[in-house]
Chains A and B, each alone.
Chain A
């Protein structure tokens, strides 16, 4: 052993070292994570084992090598505390066993140094790694703070630049922060806002639900809600805002803030209101318009259940003669008139009554809960009374009349559209009954009116489509029953209803003004046909008698038109006779009389139709430019029976004939149906007769045929001896009523 010592320690036996390294690896395996494969680990430990063995066997032993081994263990990431424990125990046990008990002191010293080296290295490493990780924390924090700063800057920018108002409040309702958009919206500064509470942003128009929602949000039952509500600006002006209020909760979910986002929609609101107003109001009169009226009326029906006792009424009003005013005085005056009428109507309407302008000169008053027709009639009376005082418009006084159709019904009995149809028809009735009055809807009358109304509406189209044609009824000389003239009679070839008599359409045609083009067309047809007869029969040709309506006489161009027509057709003026009603002649206006003078100056003859039916003063005939009077058929009725005749009628007819002759007028009797009647009229001095005895109304072609035959018409007899019917008590013939059989209109 001495030798060995002297020679220094022998190199460690490789096999023994391998055994030691394998045992070491076994001991420390798993005590720390070491990124080595098993063979690498053993290789590493083999190296350390060599160092250890060499150190303890050295002479003198070098236990300080233990410190280096401890350091290298930690460097290899053997950082687990049990690595040291197991290493120390292994070396202390194994080395004396493998290399003899004499190494024990050196082993003790070495393991001590190893522990110290291990601890020192681990301490350094710990300090290094802790410092590294703390530095990493600092860096990460810095990074986070920068990111937070950037994100906060973004939030600030968002908050400041947002176009919508943003405000933050605490859970007591105090306002903590608002953005510039919010201050602009309200006119408060941010500081002024901070003096306010959310509750102070209430507006009297707020629905109670708004504040109930707010309470629920404060209690944490709601996370957010959206509403539209009004706010007062600082200057007292009202703004409309779209508000979203949200709850901000803390990490535990406890409500901590309230966040308001507010969009100013005042402009949008105003525009919408304006558009709504425009959609529902008439710009001229500022009254409600048809849309508004219809909506309200339909709501009355929609709101009423099937067992509703609700009643509804309307006064449907149309100004009389408004078109004339508009045409003659100009639209400006017309508009002023409508405005004044609207004002007066508005003053008449009470609670629950809506006044609307539904068309040109049409107005309607809706009574939503009418409770009986009396209220409507009262309203109609008030309206007419209100319109009675003349209107002072642009320096002139104008009278305005109105006709009113009144309808009042239970909501369950009708519909909105039926009600309006009834109102329309009733208005028409009121007009037909003579304007300036009201009429109450009468369902029984409805049907007839509807027909009339429908015809009236169809008239303009019918004229345009030339649905009318002309028949001629001969006028004969009572002395020889030979044809002297024909009366032109118009008929309507209605596409669905067939041939309609003038009784059905002349009235409406006059009311709507269609009579003017219609009359013109009849006049032209009659003149052409008369010209044809004149061409064929010369002086034996009949004159043609054409009815002219009062309205036509008012047309300023009538005389010139007739002159042009005669010129165009080549009909001699004395072959044309114009028939007018008594009423048309008894006007005070100058225009019609001037027209008659003009016609007469041309050589056209003027006949008064239906003579004796008006209440006119007979003396007027003297002053008028008239050539012929046509006695109304009713006067001749009492003269028809051969054996029985009416003495009074006979006397009246006689007087009228005498009067006519005294004024140098031709007297024509209408409605001649029997030979006896014809004979009696001839005896009374009547010049001409017209009626079924002679001929019905005929087409132009038939008239020509009749003329070619050249025969007298109807039986020509002498009158029976006078036996007045009045002598026989109770046998006075009844006068017939209804349309006359020649079919002439009223």
Chain B
């Protein structure tokens, strides 16, 4: 059932949340037993999961650094989850000295936590909104006050779109964001994939059905479809650790084990 925005969902900490499960994988302690229990079951089936999550987080860090190097100093991180080590603003500010970041999440606890954490930082803001309702994200006063859409912006949808089903038309939603992004803006995307480990992916999907955010894994081609309208930054769509590694000379073992696609697209 479609829930009107003014009729909020109940807060239920007995139900695992994708944001807190992710936090747990990253070694965070902002989680509850239901989250840890679910993560434990997932890891039992798929021992690489924590490494995949870490690889995803490392991709985020590298991508933000790359964007900062291109002069991007304002970021919209949609589906930011529980703030944890290596947040976007930390990475960006470390690289640039100053950067504005708006964190967006649909999980009210993640949002409340982020607000508490960032309360004293005027260069960051937190918005509770749904990615699939672009107006609620883009027209929020916090977004408006921190992001200047007439200048290039970095929009991050890292480990987000696999929580958006095809029925919600993620491609069309992305296009709505693309429309407001000034030329020279970037889209940072990572996406869970069934490529390489299909049987595990099935089980994993089943697990996430218990959360408020069921998973839709997508193939490389499908991810390419989502990126339509953006010019892919080298090396294009690759597995998470393969996207501009810190040490290009370091050998990567079985990158396909890190079943997640990573890409950065430029709005020309």
Contacts and interface: CB of A to CB of B under 8 A. Distances in A.
B13 A137 contact: yes
Nearest to B60: A35
Given A33-B53, A136-B116, A137-B11, A144 B108 contact: yes
A132 B6 contact: no
B11 A33 contact: no
Given A35-B57, A77-B85, A139-B112, 17 more contacts: A33-B58, A33-B85, A35-B85, A38-B250, A39-B247, A77-B86, A133-B32, A133-B82, A133-B109, A136-B30, A136-B110, A137-B112, A138-B112, A143-B8, A147-B8, A148-B8, A151-B6
Interface in A604-663: none
B173 interface: no
B117 interface: yes
Interface in B225-247: 246-247
B26 interface: yes
Interface string B1-15: 000101111110100
Contacts of A39: 246-247
For the complex of A and B, the 9 pairs showing the least CB-CB separation, nearest first, are: A35-B86, A136-B113, A129-B29, A140-B108, A139-B112, A136-B112, A79-B27, A133-B30, A37-B246
Contacts of B29: 79, 125-126, 129-130, 133
Contacts of B113: 132-133, 135-136
Contacts of A38: 246-247, 250
B85 A132 contact: no
B111 interface: yes
A137 B58 CA distance: 28
Nearest to B25: A33
A80 B85 CA distance: 13
A226 interface: no
18 contacts: A30-B54, A33-B86, A35-B57, A35-B86, A37-B247, A38-B247, A77-B27, A77-B86, A126-B29, A129-B28, A130-B29, A133-B29, A133-B82, A133-B113, A139-B112, A140-B108, A144-B10, A148-B8
Interface in A117-145: 125-126, 129-130, 132-133, 135-141, 143-144
Interface in B109-127: 109-113, 115-117
A530 to B, nearest CB: 100
A294 interface: no
Contact of A137 (B84, B90, B109): B109
Contacts of B8: 143-144, 147-148, 151
Contacts of B247: 37-39
Given A77-B85, A133-B109, A144 B11 contact: yes
Contacts of A154: 6
Contact of A129 (B11, B13, B30, B53): B30
B5 to A, nearest CB: 9
A415 interface: no
Interface of A: 30, 32-35, 37-39, 77-80, 125-126, 129-130, 132-133, 135-141, 143-144, 147-148, 150-151, 154
A561 B27 CA distance: 125
Nearest to A80: B27
B61 interface: yes
A77 B11 CA distance: 28
A567 to B, nearest CB: 96
B252 to A, nearest CB: 12
Nearest to B128: A143
Looking at A80, A135, A136, which has the most chain B CB atoms within 10 Å of its CB? A136
Contacts of B53: 33
Contacts of B67: none
B91 interface: yes
Interface string B21-64: 00001111111100000000000000000110110011001000
A32 B109 contact: no
Interface residues of B, number: 42
B88 to A, nearest CB: 11
A526 B112 CA distance: 115
Contact of B9 (A30, A35, A144): A144
A140 B112 contact: yes
A101 to B, nearest CB: 35
Nearest to B20: A133
A452 to B, nearest CB: 77
Contacts of B58: 33, 35
B250 A150 contact: no
A32 B6 contact: no
Contact of A150 (B6, B108, B116): B6
Contacts of B25: 33
Nearest to B57: A33
Given A132-B117, A137-B109, A35 B28 contact: no
A30 B241 CA distance: 13
A140 B11 contact: yes
Nearest to A34: B85
A132 B118 CA distance: 12
A37 B32 CA distance: 29
A147 B9 CA distance: 10
A347 B118 CA distance: 93
A688 B112 CA distance: 131
A42 B50 CA distance: 21
A69 B30 CA distance: 24
Contacts of A144: 8-11, 108
A141 B90 contact: no
Contacts of A143: 8, 108, 112
Contacts of A133: 20, 29-32, 82, 109, 113
A139 B116 contact: yes
A151 B9 CA distance: 12
Nearest to A128: B29
Contacts of A32: 27
A147 B108 CA distance: 12
Contacts of B110: 136
Contacts of A126: 29
Contacts of B57: 33, 35
B246 A35 contact: no
A77 B7 CA distance: 38
A137 B32 CA distance: 11
A79 B26 CA distance: 9
A654 to B, nearest CB: 115
